[in-house]
Amino acid sequence: MTVVSGHWQAVGGVSDALTRGRARRGAGTYAGLRWAGAAIFVALLLGLVITVAAQSSQAFSHSGIGFIWSGTWNPANNQYGAGILLVGTAITTLVAMAIVVPVGLGVAVFLSEQAPRWIAAPLSSAIDLLAAVPSIVVGLWGLLVLTPVFARHVEPFFRSFPVLGYLFHGEAYGPSIILASVVLAVMALPSVVTLSRTALSGVPVADREAAIAMGATGWQVTRKAVIPAARSGIAAALILAVGRALGESIAVAMVIGNRPAIPHSLLAPGATLGSAIVNQFAEATPGLATSSVIALGAVLLLLTLLVNLGGQALLRRRSGGDRSPAAATVLPRGPTIEAEAATAPDGAIHDPAVGRRLKSAVREHSASSLGRRRLTGNLMHLLCWLAVIVGVAPLAALIYYTIVRGAGAISWSFLTHAPTPSGIPGGGIAPAITGSAKIAGLALAMAVPVGLLTALFLYEQAGKLASGIRFAAEVMTGVPSIIVGIFAYAFLVRPLHHFSDLAASFAIAVLMVPIMIRANEEAIRTVALDLWEAGVALGARRSRVARSVVLRSAMPGVLTGNLLALARGLGETAPLLFTVAAPTAVMTLLIFSDGTQPFADAQRAAWGTAFVLLVAVLLISVATRLIAWGYTRNAR
């Protein structure tokens, strides 16, 4: 019996050892995959920065640091400088933000504070969907619709104002600084509205109720309590919009006129860093010329990184810091100390800043009549309505023209036949549809593992490394796509000596990965920490818990984030200029090629292609919202 008992004890010990060994190997494999995903993302980030710096080194060696502020861009005489293009970039961005700030904030305040729910909910959803409209579609609309309208009506109207005459003088040709600024404003407006509305809606109800209890009117509540409390989120939204405007290239290149000179007025043609890269790269000869164009990308990358760093820092300051499970074991859960200090159990506000604002409201209440305050509130309500009209009208016009002009070009042969040369009727976009699907599918296959593994790494890992990677992913979402195109060109096209779908898919995947990382991590964080802890306590391997518990519960959010990244990649144009050989191979390049031609058949084909692309992107965006809505409904 002793021998038999010892035998079974030995067998049990061997079995337990084998089980523990398999568990250790499984845990090691899972940890290795997470670290590998994070390492690949960091390598992509460092590779992008190093590649752009190395490829632009010849230009900086030739011109020195003066390349940044040099005011001459003359390739015929080997004179290259980014200063003149920096001026154009700054002017278009400033004018665009002068339009976006009042309109975007007015729409956000209306949706968050003034509109009834039956108006606010559908209008907010529509604006969120319009944020996914590809920039090439906006550029096509600006080139073929807004350009003649501006040349005949808008620009002469501005020129007739005596006070603004010094800003709008000279001939009105259509393509101009002001037109490019309007196009940028249309592109940035949905993001500003969405982020600002989120910040305003996040202000505690207690702040509003306390202001109302002290006699404040509706507008005073918004001005004294809501807007000051949401100012960091609003500032972050505006800074990120500046980054978007700085980095846009394709749409601006189609409407700005592309003349690298100091603009004498806002009606004059101009050029930006992004538009110059689009127009100069294909014509640049190898050597100094190509390096100088890439150096423009380096300046643009540095500029947008600085802006996006500021915006993301504000967002992180507003939302808090590390939220990994490891950190959750240290940080207290529940209301923060600041929240507890700000709000007493009876709902009174103890925050000194809020108290000062309310005291100011009381003084204003005692110093002015109720009628005057109501009149001011009605006036601001009217201005918010005006902002909604001004903001929504161009977005609606964009969709309307794309549907009306694009649907007329759609036919079975248009969708199934290959393009024909200019001047020959017929033809279609079948190769462009299949090419876009192939590139987007391959990019999705590249990006999904990296995005998911890096998100799991950030979810489980605490400390400065995880915080740094998370911050880098947030900043990377704002890197101009044309910089990623330069990276793919230098990394794959130049060494392989030919354009390829692989290089195009790689560029699109680099753009997708940061979006997936942030969306996947947020989806994973919606899973209750207790489920993770329960699985580990029952003896399951961490990889099994992640696969069977965490990812299964977070799958709707993960799928939503991946679809959003797919919609972004499907609508990109700038990276494909550096990686795809023929414009007929991808829908976005076909729109750019046909839309800039003076032939009616080519423009008709461009509208038809834009319609197909817009439908595809909006269907993906609608699918993401339906998935998120269904998940929220089931959770309730």
For the chain, which domains are there? 52-317+337-392 (1.10.3720.10), 408-636 (1.10.3720.10)
In the Cβ-directed half-sphere of 135, how many Cα atoms lie within 13 Å? 27
Name the residue among 216, 237, 236, 238 with its Cα closest to residue 354.
Answer: 216
Which of 72-81, 251-260, 283-292, 387-396 is predicted least confidently? 72-81
Q: For residue 631, what pLDDT band results from cuts at 50, 70 and 90?
A: low
**pLDDT at res. 153:** 83
**How many Cβ atoms from other residues are within 10 Å of residue 121's Cβ?**
12
Q: Does the structure show a pLDDT above 60 at 601? A: yes
Average pLDDT over residues 215-223: 81
What's the CA gap between 630 and 562, in Å, rounded? Answer: 17
Task: Output the CA–CA distances (angstroms, integers) from residue 143 to 169, 173, 317, 535, 559, in the order listed.
Answer: 21, 12, 40, 57, 35
**pLDDT at res. 330:** 34
What are the tens digits of pLDDT across the range 507-518?
A: 999 999 999 998
Average pLDDT over residues 203-220: 80
Q: How far apart are the first and last CA of the chain?
A: 59
What's the CA gap between 595 and 603, in Å, rounded? Answer: 5
Structure pTM?
Answer: 0.83
Average pLDDT over residues 289-313: 87
Q: Does the structure show a pLDDT above 50 at 277? A: yes
**pLDDT at res. 352:** 56
CA angle, residues 442, 403, 609, in degrees to nearest 5: 35
> Tokens 């944020």 — which residue?
131
Residue 202: burial class (beta carbons within 10 Å; 0-12, 13-18, 19+): middle
CA angle, residues 37, 39, 41, in degrees to nearest 5: 70
What is the three-class DSSP state of 581? coil
What is the three-class DSSP state of 270? strand
Q: Does the structure show a pLDDT above 80 at 628? A: no
What are the tens digits of pLDDT across the range 418-448?
A: 887 766 777 789 999 999 999 999 999 999 9
What DSSP element (H or E) covers 27? helix 2-55
- Where helices occur in 329-480 by DSSP H, the ranges are 337-342, 352-367, 370-407, 412-416, 430-460, 464-476
What are the tens digits of pLDDT across the range 530-541?
A: 666 676 676 667
Average pLDDT over residues 112-126: 86
How is 36-84 classified by DSSP, letter by letter? HHHHHHHHHHHHHHHHHHHHTHHHHHHHGGGGTT----BGGGTB--SHH
Q: Does the structure show a pLDDT above 80 at 242? A: yes
* Amino acid type, 335: P
Which of 181-190, 200-209, 474-483 is predicted least confidently? 200-209
Q: Does the structure show a pLDDT above 60 at 18? A: no
Average pLDDT over residues 206-223: 80
**pLDDT at res. 454:** 93
What's the CA gap between 70 and 296, in Å, rounded? Answer: 12
Q: Does the structure show a pLDDT above 70 at 366? A: no
Q: Does the structure show a pLDDT above 50 at 327? A: no
Angle between helices 430-460 and 2-55 (to 10 degrees): 120
**pLDDT at res. 96:** 94
**pLDDT at res. 231:** 86
**pLDDT at res. 99:** 94
Q: How far is CA 381 from the centre of its chain?
A: 30
570, 574, 577, 579: CA torsion to nearest 10 = -60
Q: Does the structure show a pLDDT above 50 at 336? A: no
The sign of the CA dihedral 189, 193, 195, 200 is: positive
Which of 279-283, 453-457, 507-511 is predicted least confidently? 279-283
What is the share, in percent, of the chain residues with pLDDT greater than 90?
Answer: 35
Contact 629, 622 (CB under 8 A): no
> Tokens 């414009």 — which residue?
583
Tokens at residue 329, please? 């074991």
Of 238 and 354, more confident: 238
Contact 439, 503 (CB under 8 A): no
Tokens at residue 71, please? 């005011």
**How many Cβ atoms from other residues are within 10 Å of residue 472's Cβ?**
17
**pLDDT at res. 3:** 43
Q: For residue 310, what pLDDT band results from cuts at 50, 70 and 90?
A: confident
Q: Does the structure show a pLDDT above 80 at 217? A: no
Q: Does the structure show a pLDDT above 50 at 116? A: yes
Tokens at residue 320, please? 């808090």
Q: Does the structure show a pLDDT above 50 at 128? A: yes
Tokens at residue 309, please? 């760093």
Q: Does the structure show a pLDDT above 90 at 253? A: yes
In the Cβ-directed half-sphere of 211, how many Cα atoms lie within 13 Å? 26
Computed over every residue of the chain, the mean pLDDT equals 81
How is 300-321 classified by DSSP, letter by letter? HHHHHHHHHHHHHHHHHHHH-S
Contact 193, 108 (CB under 8 A): yes
